[in-house]
A and B are shown apart, each in its own frame.
Chain A
C-alpha cells in the first residue's frame, strides 16, 4: 500500500517550476463571433486569471488583435499560446515580457471642479502626471492620463483624498518592439487571401413582424 502514500506527493506537476511574472500575449485573429469565448476558455479551463484583456481591429483590415495580460510562468504561457494558435480562426499568438514591449494603459478621472479650482496642490499634481482635461463642467471636471499601471495607480491614490468621484481605466495596449516584420507579412497575407465576410444576426429586432412556431 506504499503507492497510496506516494499519490499525495505526486500532485505537483513540472509546470509549476520557474517563477511567475507578467506576460503579454498578443493574438492576431479573424473577426469572428464566438472567438473571444474560445480564447477565454483556454485560460479559464486552467483556472488562470486574465489581468487585462483588450480586443481591437489592427492596422490590417479584417485582422483583429487581442492583448492579454496574465501572471504566469513562461512554460505555462508557452503552452497557452500553442493552444490559442490551435484555434481555427487564430492567425498567430505571441507572448512577451514587459521588457520586450512598449505598453500603456489609459485612465479617466472625474474630480469635483471646485476642488481643482481651489486647491492648488491638485492642479500641480495633475500637471506633474501629465494629465489632460477632457471636459470641464460646473460640478465636475474629467481628466485623462495614460501610462503604466503603477503610474495610474499612484495618481488615483493621490486624488482619492480630494473627492475623486469616479475613475475608469482601460486594459493594457501593447506594441511589440520587434514586430516590424510581422506587420509586413500580415499585409501581404491579407492581400493574397481576402477574408470572409462577417455575418451578424439581422433578425434580432424583428420579433413583432414575424409569426413563427
Chain B
C-alpha cells in the first residue's frame, strides 16, 4: 500500500505540462495569489497579455493611462494591503516609464514586482524597435532584477522575484522577459514558491546580548524617546510596538512613513519628526538621554544637521537592514532583526514605568506650538482658507478611519501633520523620493488594496497635473477614489523656500490650473470647487457621501507657509515656529 502511494506521488511530481512562457507567468501569478495587476500593453509584452485573456476571471487587470501610473498604483496597493503589487509594461518606453516608481518603491521599501516585455533574445543589443537596456537602467533602483531569455527560467525567476520583493526589507523587483521566452513552449513541472536563496539573508540573526544591553539602557534612562518609521508597518508589528511603549511609558514620535502605525490619538504619540514635524519631538531629540529608533533610517529630513543631532543621547537602533545601522547616526546598541521578533524580547526585559515628568515636557511644547502655530493654522483670521482647516474638517467627517494618500509638497506636510488615523496602513505618501504626481495613481491602487475603506487622494495643483491622465483609469475601472485638490495657485513648497531663502524671488513657481471640475466632468467624474469657508464642510460631506469617484477642489491661501520648520543645515533643536 505504502509503496503504491509513494509511486503515485512520484508520478505526480514528475508530471509536466507543455505550456508557453506566458502561460507560466499566469500560473506563477495565480500561485502567488495575485488578484490585481496594473499595466499597459505593448508589442513586446503581447504574448503575456494574450495569456492574460484566458485568465481574466482570476486575474484582474487595471488598464492605466501611463506606466508611471501603473507602478504608483501598485505601490498604493502594496501599502494598504501589505501584499506585493504587480505591474505589467512593455519594453522600451513602457519600461523606462517605470523608473520613477521603481526609485520611489526602492527608497520607501515597497514590495512591487514589475514584469516587462523585451525584444527577442536574438535582437538584444541590436537597437531593435523599442529595445532599451532595462536591466542596466533599473539596477540602481531595484532590490533585484533579472532578464529571462528562456521560458524554462520563468517559474524560478518569478518565484525568486516574489520572495525577494516581500521578504526582509521589501523593495521593487523587475523581471524582463524576452518575447521569444514568452512564446516558447516548455515542459512546465509546476510552480514552487521560493522561501530560500542561498546568498540572501532577509533577516539578520537576533543577538540576545544586544537586546539585553538595549533593555538595560532603557531601564536606566530618565528621558527615553522612541522614534519610529515604516519598519513597524512592514513588519506587522503594530501590536508589539504598542505593548513596548506602553510598558516602558515611552513617548514616541514618527517619521512620515511611520505615520498611522500608532493611533494618532494614543497618549504616548507625541507627533511628527523632522523638517515640518512637531515642535516637541524635534527639540527634545536633543534633550533625551536614550534615543530608541525603530524601523527608521535617519533620513536627512528627519535628522537635520547630523553633527548636532542627539549628540547627548545613547542611541539604540532596531532595524532589519544591517546596512542602515551606523549609516547616518552612530549607534550605541544595534538591535538587528525583524522588529516583530525583537520588540517582544525587549518588552519582556524592560521595567514598567511612566516617565510622567518627561512626558509633560512634550505636552508643554505641544501647548506652545498650538498657541504660536497650530491654532492660527486651524482657525485662520483671513478670508482665505488654510490647508490645515480643510484637513481639520476632514478629520471631523472621517473620524480618522479613511486612507489618506498624499502627493508631495506643502499639502503633504500639512496633511501628515494634522490628519488623524486610527488604524495602520492608512497613510500612503511618497516620503523618500518625494515624487510629485504620486497621489492620484497611488490612491487608485490603495482602493484596490483596501476596497472596504474610504480612500482620499490629497494633492496640490502642481502634483495633480503631473498624472492627471489617471482620471481615465478611475473612469474606466470605476474606482471609488475621492480626490481633494488643495489649490494655492503656486508650487507652494518651492515658493515657500524662495520666500524664506531666496528673498522672495519667485522663479517659475506660479502655476496655472485647468478648470478641474470640468476636466473631471470630461472623465465622467462629479466634482465641485469651493473657495468660501462656509461651503467647505458641506462640500467635503458631499464628496465623502458621493457614490463613486468625486473631485473636490478647495481654493486655499496663496502664500501660506508650512510651519514649524527646521531650515536646511540647521539642527532639529533650531526648529522655527514662525
Contact = CB atoms under 8 A, between A and B. Distances in A.
Interface of A: 3-4, 6-11, 13-14, 29-30, 33-34, 37-38, 41, 45, 78-79, 82-83, 85-86, 88-91, 189, 193, 195-196, 199, 201-207, 210, 212-213
7 contacts: A9-B569, A33-B147, A34-B139, A85-B323, A88-B164, A203-B122, A212-B122
B80 interface: no
Contacts of B43: 213
Given A37-B139, A86-B321, A30 B569 contact: no
A16 B135 CA distance: 33
Given A30-B199, A88-B144, A41 B139 contact: yes
Given A4-B567, A10-B307, 6 more contacts: A13-B306, A34-B139, A41-B139, A201-B124, A206-B122, A210-B180
B284 interface: no
B197 A8 contact: no
A199 B574 contact: no
A212 B182 CA distance: 13
B305 interface: yes
Max chain A Cβ within 10 angstroms of own Cβ: one of B43, B140, B146, B199: B199
A91 B164 CA distance: 15
Contacts, number: 105
Interface stretch (B93-101, B148-156, B483-491, B549-557): B148-156
Interface size class of B (residues with CB under 8 A): 35 or more
A77 B413 CA distance: 36
Nearest to A37: B139
B140 to A, nearest CB: 5
Nearest to A80: B323
A29 B322 contact: no
A204 B150 CA distance: 12
A91 B307 CA distance: 34
A213 B323 CA distance: 45
B123 A212 contact: yes
Query: 7 tightest CB-CB pairs across the interface, nearest first?
Result: A7-B569, A3-B567, A203-B121, A10-B569, A82-B323, A203-B122, A193-B198
Contacts of B420: none
Nearest to B163: A88
A14 B306 CA distance: 8
Interface in B542-578: 567-570, 574, 576
A113 B570 CA distance: 68
A8 B501 CA distance: 13
